[in-house]
Amino acid sequence: MTALLELRNVSRRFGGLVAVNDVTLKIAEGEIVGLLGPNGAGKTTLVNVVTGVHPATGGQVLFEGRDITRVPPFRIARSGLARTFQIVQPFPKMTVVENVAAAALFAGRAEGMAEAFEAARRHLDFTGLGDAADQVASTLTLAKRKRLEFAKGLAMNPKLLMLDEVNAGLNSAEVEDAMRLIRKIADSGVTILIIEHIMKVVLSVSRRLLVLHHGELIADGLPEEVTNDRRVIEAYLGKRYAEKAGR
């Protein structure tokens, strides 16, 4: 598999705490990959390592074959690796379109304000927020702020978009809308890594699953393989349940 993103024995320590431990994986162009794991498994830390927020304390991160392990976050973003955030924090006093235009200008390589705003409105229309473009961002509902995260990520012209817990706090109808948007983004040619702890959500869109537990990668494979993996069942439901299930 030719890798768009590759991690080679990546670890991240915070003092004596090993948050990510010796993770090796590859993501190919065009994939939709789900990164699963119970709360505290190290999923967001892994995203932060890939995007340069917390550089790896061991191993290598490569994007399109180039070592980005020690590259600053803004350069990683401009290279085509974008992410959303689990805790949604738009610039509250700016309008929705201004928030997206900022992403287009500073990370999406827009040449000037006019081009940034043109790109912003295009991405807002794509994500279903076109009608809210001139609203102040702080007035949006949680579901619409999540869509704003999508629009900001797309404004960065990503080759790979990492979606961190985009469904947290949403009701079932809003989750379905988010899943449809993820498929739409993938169909546009963007490779996607979706980070979740709710297995049934990520199963609906992912073609391959990765599972983290206590910072270690314990499974990597097709959804039907991973969901029947004893280690994954133990991580989510406990060893006693796995034994009862005969796994």
Q: Are strands 3-14 and 17-28 parallel, antiparallel or unpaired?
A: antiparallel
Residue 162 main-chain phi, psi, to 5 deg: -105, 120
Tokens of 166: 């985009």
76 and 165 part of one domain = yes
Tokens of 177: 């809308």
Q: How far apart are CA 20 and CA 129, in angstroms?
A: 36
Query: Which residue has tokens 């967001």?
Result: 44
The domain tally of the chain equals 2
Residues in the chain predicted with pLDDT less than 70, given as ranges, are 1, 237-247
Residue 149 within any structural domain of the chain: yes
Local structure of residue 95 (DSSP, 8 states):
B
25 and 134 part of one domain = no
**Domain carrying residue 148:** 93-157
7 and 63 part of one domain = yes
Other beta carbons within 10 Å of 224: 9
Q: What residues does 210 pair with on adjacent strands?
A: 35, 220
**Confidence (pLDDT) at 211:** 95
**Confidence (pLDDT) at 51:** 96
pLDDT tens digits along 127-138 = 999 999 999 999
Residue 85 within any structural domain of the chain: no
pLDDT tens digits along 174-233 = 999 999 999 999 999 999 999 988 777 888 899 999 999 999 999 999 999 998 898 998
**Confidence (pLDDT) at 201:** 81
- The answer to whether the CB of 7 falls within 8 A of the CB of 212 is no
182 and 150 part of one domain = no
**Confidence (pLDDT) at 244:** 57
Residue 88 within any structural domain of the chain: no
Buried b (16+ CB within 10 A) or exposed e, 45-71: bbbbbbbbebbbebbebbbbeeebbeb
Residue 218 within any structural domain of the chain: yes
171 and 103 part of one domain = no
Q: How far apart are CA 186 and CA 82, in angstroms?
A: 14
169 and 240 part of one domain = yes
Domain final residue pick, 130, 157, 184: 157
Residue 86 within any structural domain of the chain: no
236 and 119 part of one domain = no
pTM of the predicted structure, to 2 decimals: 0.91
Q: How far apart are CA 207 and CA 31, in angstroms?
A: 7
11 and 71 part of one domain = yes
Domain final residue pick, 107, 130, 157: 157
Tokens of 90: 């738009």
237 and 166 part of one domain = yes
Local structure of residue 160 (DSSP, 8 states):
E
